[in-house]
């Protein structure tokens, strides 16, 4: 974990929009009197979202004032959690997973694309479009290697499909989150690898048990006896 410091250049002030003021009030009201500090993460998150995905010092101070907390306590929280960016990020903020399963599946080549196209980690491109950081496992190891860009995951990356993805983002064209090789969620790439001999044989699993699937074979109705 690298040292996390506030950005050198800071705005003079920060104020929530009226809409976000109302959302803050709602968050604070979730906690009993005297426990308003429990809303600190929610308020910091709202401030970051409002401020182009990074958290300036005046926003930290504003949240502290709203919650009646010493600013240093809010600063400790903002610097502890890596979900808070303490310096400006690009419009497309890439969180690159550099943990072992992703590395074993080719993350180094994805990192090379980031370094070639964007530059060193933490640097925003001159046009303000991109920046990236390396993070620990984002919990999508089944579809490694992967990155998170803003709120979405992009998985099954190769240098080629990742380059194409960044091209589309740069051009403002739509992109599809999730697997970039057409895989549905995290199903096996090459089809089933287990339970293949039992698939559908027991009458309770397999395509013929799902209404609407090509092999669907509806069960015969139970015979009704006159005595029933």
Q: How far is the CB of 147 from ligand FES (least distance, A)?
A: 9
Residue 64 has φ and ψ, to the nearest 5°, of -60, -45
Site for ligand FES contains 101 (CB under 6 A): yes
Residue 65 to residue 21: CA distance in whole angstroms: 13
Candidate residues 77, 97, 157, 166; the one interacting with ligand FES per rule CB under 6 A? 97
Candidate residues 86, 87, 141, 149; the one interacting with ligand FES per rule CB under 6 A? 141
Instruction: Considering the complex, state which of residue 97 and residue 118 has its C-beta at the smaller distance from ligand FES.
Output: 97
Task: Pick the stretch among 21-29, 134-142, 172-180, 210-218 that binds ligand FES (CB under 6 A).
Answer: 134-142
Site for ligand FES contains 175 (CB under 6 A): no
- Cβ–Cβ under 8 Å, residues 77 and 114: no
Instruction: Considering the complex, state which of residue 129 and residue 142 has its C-beta at the smaller distance from ligand FES.
Output: 142
Site for ligand FES contains 140 (CB under 6 A): yes
Among the residues of the chain, which ranges form H helices? Answer: 18-28, 40-50, 57-67, 71-80, 100-104, 107-117, 159-170
Q: How far is the CB of 193 from ligand FES (least distance, A)?
A: 20
Number of residues that bind ligand FES (CB under 6 A): 11
CA dihedral (102, 104, 106, 112) positive or negative: positive
Instruction: Count the neighbouring beta carbons within 10 Å of the beta carbon of residue 27.
Output: 18
Q: How far is the CB of 156 from ligand FES (least distance, A)?
A: 12
Q: How far is the CB of 111 from ligand FES (least distance, A)?
A: 12
Candidate residues 51, 99, 186, 208; the one interacting with ligand FES per rule CB under 6 A? 99
Residue 226 to residue 84: CA distance in whole angstroms: 70
Candidate residues 6, 7, 138, 170; the one interacting with ligand FES per rule CB under 6 A? 138
Residue 209 has φ and ψ, to the nearest 5°, of -95, -5
Q: How far is the CB of 191 from ligand FES (least distance, A)?
A: 23
Specify the DSSP class assigned to residue 188: -
Candidate residues 47, 66, 146, 165; the one interacting with ligand FES per rule CB under 6 A? 146
CA dihedral (63, 67, 69, 73) positive or negative: negative
């Amino acid at each position: 974990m690298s040292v996390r410091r506030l950005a050198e250049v800071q705005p003079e002030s920060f104020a929530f929009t009226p809409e976000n003021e109302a959302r803050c009030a709602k968050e604070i009201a979730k906690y009993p009197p005297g426990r308003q500090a429990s809303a600190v993460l929610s308020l910091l998150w709202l401030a970051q979202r409002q401020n182009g995905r990074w958290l300036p010092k005046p926003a930290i101070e504003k949240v502290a004032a709203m919650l009646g907390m010493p600013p240093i306590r809010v600063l400790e929280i903002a610097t502890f959690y890596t979900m808070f960016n303490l310096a400006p990020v690009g419009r497309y903020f890439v969180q690159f997973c550099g943990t072992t399963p992703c590395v074993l599946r080719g993350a180094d080549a994805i990192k090379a694309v980031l370094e070639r196209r964007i530059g060193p980690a933490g640097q925003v491109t001159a046009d303000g479009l991109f920046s990236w950081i390396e993070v620990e496992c984002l919990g999508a190891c089944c579809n490694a290697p992967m990155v998170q860009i803003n709120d979405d995951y992009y998985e099954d990356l190769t240098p080629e499909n990742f380059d194409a993805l960044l091209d589309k983002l740069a051009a403002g064209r739509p992109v599809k989150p999730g697997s970039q090789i057409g895989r549905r969620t995290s199903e096996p790439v090459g089809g089933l690898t287990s339970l293949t001999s039992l698939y559908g044989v027991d009458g309770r699993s397999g395509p013929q048990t799902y209404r609407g699937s090509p092999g669907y074979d509806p069960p015969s109705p139970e015979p009704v006896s006159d005595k029933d």
